[in-house]
Chain A
Amino acid sequence: MTENSILLEIRNLKKHFPIYKGIFRSAAGWVKAVDGISLKLKKGEVLGLVGESGCGKTTAGRSILRLLEPTAGEVLFYSHGQAEPINVTTAPPKVIKKLRQDMQIIYQDPQSSLNERMTVGSIVSEPLLVHKIGAPSDREQEAEKLLKAVGLEGDHMARYPHQFSGGQRQRIAIARALCLKPKLIIADEAVSALDVSIQAQVLLLLKELQNEFNLTYIFITHDLAVVRYITNRVAVMYLGRIVESAATEELFNNPQHPYSEALISAVPVPDPDYRVRRILLQGDVPSPIDPPPGCHFHPRCRYAEDICRNETPTYRELSPDRFVSCHLADKLNLWSFSK
């Protein structure tokens, strides 16, 4: 097993939701929440999936895990010891269930993702029970070990979720996700609901656990500062499509897509002497039911030309390992944020 081998490959993944209308409930339209995204994820990498609300990042995460049935496309998971990848999108339920051991998710809100009526010990060890791993005493031991790994105490096992603070609950959710020794963890806004000091604790914990358990993460978030801190690669989504993906520092220093440029410029910087002009995008994100023709971003783009209004840009490799979906990408001289 080489260090840089591919763990996950996403090819043209789509998830469209029908909008039903009328008494016959016929599909009157489609919300193209995820509209053809392609990504490769190496083992041990941390990929950030960023974008504003409604861009499809959460739907993408769930479709990758097949918590949602994708409309089209392929998700290939390279499990260790197997030469051929498993196609997550077509695998039968039995295979999927087995696969869930390798792919886990942490949700945003630890208030609603933990069952209030279960003890912390049984929450954390439940995945083992579901997959029939180990005897009850082994499971208990494992849960205790995991709780310690995420910075909680062994005697927290018998308590209930309401006895914990938000940050501690998120640690419990993390322990549960780690329980089956997964290879891939999708963290969907996992630190967004936490206060800054607690958020920093959980971020550090996730980083430590990554080294310790050799994990690969997909970090879904709207918080660009968090993404810059924890990821190696970033994919920026806008209205169901990836507009740019690149190595994290590359993207933050020299964005190549006008949307990434505006997004990065808009993030407030915790430094009072840092006064740079912001690119203020006009208007809101358009509805994904009826997205603008051509490039989805053109109505808000300050560089838009005729071609942008009529033709959908292809997602192409602009330079090695840097993909951009913009007609004008090699012509534009976008802002650099490296200083």
Chain B
Amino acid sequence: MPPVLEIADLKVFFYTDYGVVKAVDGVRFHLNAGETLGLVGESGCGKSVTAMAVLGLVRYPGRIVAGEIIYHQNAKKVRLSGLDPKGREIRSIRGNDIAMIFQEPMTSLNPVFTVGYQIMEAIILHQRLNRRQAREAAISMLAKVGIPLPEQRVDEYPHQLSGGMRQRAMIAMALSCRPSILIADEPTTALDVTIQAQVLELMMNLKAEFQTSIIMITHDLGVIAGIADRVVVMYLGKVVEEAGVREIFYNTKHPYTQGLMNSVPSVRGKIRDLKPIPGVVPDAFALPTGCSFQPRCSQVSKMCRTEAPPLTEVGPNHWVACWLHS
């Protein structure tokens, strides 16, 4: 499968009054057509900022400092990182070719417009349909995401919908222009488990139907195990490990990924002892020298304290940034 999105050596820094925060510091990965890529990491690891950079939504005081984001639009290569974030070109891609779902549907939907209006907005903007056609399209999208009585719901406001319904409406909006890439930032974190199961199932069905590639940003390894084809693990703005989903779960290489795996309890299987990663994520203004995971790592060596390990291929399509494996 050819890649639809390539990110190379991306750096996004935030220039605050207190210093520079290197939110994304040399991230490199790609997304293949038709694939679900899991982007995993804890708060502050830069996973959301990476997504924002793809869409040209990094706000002041943040800036893309270096790197390339290349989107393969059919046969054409579009260099997203070089586009004016307010320009015509990125606006024709954003919401049309690349769409995003956010974590909290209540804050990402506008409370003073109807759900239908907000879905139609994207359709009218990108697809040259008139209002009536757009409304029809919005209703059919709402029906597709499993909202009962879509003809009625289309005229309702976000507060009239439940949390699960709102997230479905967000998905309807994101998919209304049949994007080739869908970036989902913790789309089910705010939902209850039974609703989460519904929404994930829906996303996977729609992915097959619309042939969308998905970047799934989450901290939930259960969700990743269930739906991702490939996984990228981030820590403090860097990719620490990248591999196929089975590889990453059964042949975990990086001590941080291992730590994550040993930190999550499961509802199935034997109850294992949790082995949490000691310490806390370091202060973004005072990053450790060498490997950024070194202060919390149990297998740290001298080398780790002085030099950052490069991302190296340790097996077929399995990349690790750790001195233990290079």
State the A residues within 8 Å of B (CB): 52-53, 165, 167-168, 195-201, 203-204, 222, 224-226, 228-229, 252, 262-274, 278, 280-281, 283-285, 337
Contact = CB atoms under 8 A, between A and B. Distances in A.
Contacts of B277: 197, 200-201
Given A167-B280, A200-B263, A204-B276, A269 B193 contact: no
Contacts of B196: 266, 268
Given A263-B193, A271-B266, A228 B271 contact: yes
A12 B148 CA distance: 36
A190 B223 CA distance: 22
A228 B280 contact: no
A202 B161 CA distance: 35
Nearest to B278: A201
B84 interface: no
Contacts of B267: 224-225, 228, 252, 264, 267, 269, 337
Contacts of B281: 165, 195
Contact of A270 (B163, B195, B261): B261
A284 B225 contact: no
A53 B201 contact: no
Nearest to B263: A200
B274 to A, nearest CB: 4
Given A228-B265, A284-B162, A269 B225 contact: yes
Contacts of B261: 270
B165 A266 contact: no
Interface string B191-222: 01111111011000000000000000001111
Contact of B263 (A199, A252, A264, A284): A199
Interface in B286-313: none
Contacts of B193: 52, 222, 224, 263, 266-267
A320 to B, nearest CB: 23
16 contacts: A52-B193, A52-B195, A195-B43, A196-B263, A197-B263, A203-B276, A228-B265, A229-B265, A265-B197, A266-B197, A269-B266, A270-B249, A270-B266, A271-B266, A272-B226, A280-B194
A197 B222 contact: no
Given A274-B268, A337-B268, A196 B219 contact: yes
Nearest to B229: A272
B38 to A, nearest CB: 10
B2 interface: no
B26 interface: no
A278 B281 CA distance: 35
Contacts of B158: none
Given A225-B267, A272-B245, A280 B201 contact: yes
Nearest to B256: A197
B164 A284 contact: yes
Given A165-B280, A197-B276, A284-B195, A271 B223 contact: no
B235 to A, nearest CB: 10
Nearest to B42: A195
A196 B222 CA distance: 12
B260 interface: yes
Contacts of B67: none
Contacts of B198: 280-281
Interface in B164-197: 164-165, 192-197
B259 interface: yes
B264 interface: yes
A272 B265 contact: no
Nearest to A197: B277
Given A201-B276, A269-B266, A270-B225, 11 more contacts: A52-B194, A52-B195, A195-B281, A198-B42, A199-B263, A228-B265, A269-B226, A270-B224, A270-B266, A271-B249, A274-B268
B269 interface: yes
Contacts of A53: 163, 192
A272 B225 contact: yes
A212 to B, nearest CB: 18
B159 interface: no
Given A195-B219, A197-B259, A271-B225, A278 B197 contact: yes
Given A266-B196, A271-B266, A196 B260 contact: yes
B197 to A, nearest CB: 4
Contacts of A271: 225, 249, 266, 268-269
Contacts of A265: 197
Contacts of A268: 196-197, 200, 220, 222-223, 225-226
B226 A203 contact: no
Given A168-B280, A201-B276, A262-B194, A274 B225 contact: yes
A167 B277 CA distance: 12
A201 B280 CA distance: 10
B246 interface: yes
Contacts of B200: 268
B219 A269 contact: no
A57 B192 CA distance: 14
- The 9 A-B pairs at the shortest CB distance, nearest first, are namely A268-B222, A200-B276, A200-B263, A229-B265, A52-B192, A266-B197, A195-B42, A270-B221, A197-B277
Contacts of A199: 263, 276
